[in-house]
Amino acid sequence: MKEPLFSLEMKVRDYECDMQGRVNNAVYQNYLEHTRHEFLLSRQISFAALTLQGINLVVIRAELDYKLPLSSGDTFMVDLDLERISPLRFAFSQVIRRSKDQKIVLIAKIIATGVNDRGRPELPPEVLALLPI
């Protein structure tokens, strides 16, 4: 199995769970987003700095396949890979795995782009430098 470009370990907090003690489906998107932000920060790309430059990175599509639930106290890894979709779009391929048994919990493909202060698609050079050709 290929090593992911980036991985982040997290732990389920009680308040993220529903009445059945399982992580609420919407919370998984928070896990995915936090991992994407941490990945960009690890590459010295700041959302705040991009915003000051007039560029906003935005999600334009999210595909999530739920496989197994997480429960309170579970630790898990979120793996991230990056691919170029088109000149102005890129995708974060993300997988959440439960730490205790490495079982896949969720598979996601998050498609994103950048939008400049005129509302036009634009990817900043620091993001373009991350994307495979």
Q: Which of 18, 65, 74, 101 is catalytic?
A: 18
User: Looking at residue 2, what is its pLDDT?
Assistant: 82
Q: Which residue has the tokens 């795995």?
A: 97
Q: Across residues 3-31, what is the average pLDDT?
A: 95
User: Looking at residue 76, what is its pLDDT?
Assistant: 98
pTM: 0.94
**Catalytic site residue 18?**
yes
Using DSSP, state whether 33 is helix, strand or coil. helix
User: What is the C-alpha separation between 124 and 62, in angstroms, rounded?
Assistant: 22
Q: Classify domain 6-128 by CATH architecture.
A: Roll (3.10)
User: What is the C-alpha separation between 100 and 75, in angstroms, rounded?
Assistant: 7
In 12-133, the DSSP E strands lie at 55-66, 75-86, 89-98, 104-116
User: Looking at residue 64, what is its pLDDT?
Assistant: 98
Region of 96 on the Ramachandran plot (φ > 0 left; ψ -120 to 50 alpha; else beta): beta
Q: Across all residues in the chain, what is the average pLDDT?
A: 95
Domain boundaries, the chain: 6-128
Residue 18 C-alpha from the chain's centroid: 22
DSSP-H helix ranges across 3-108: 27-42, 47-52
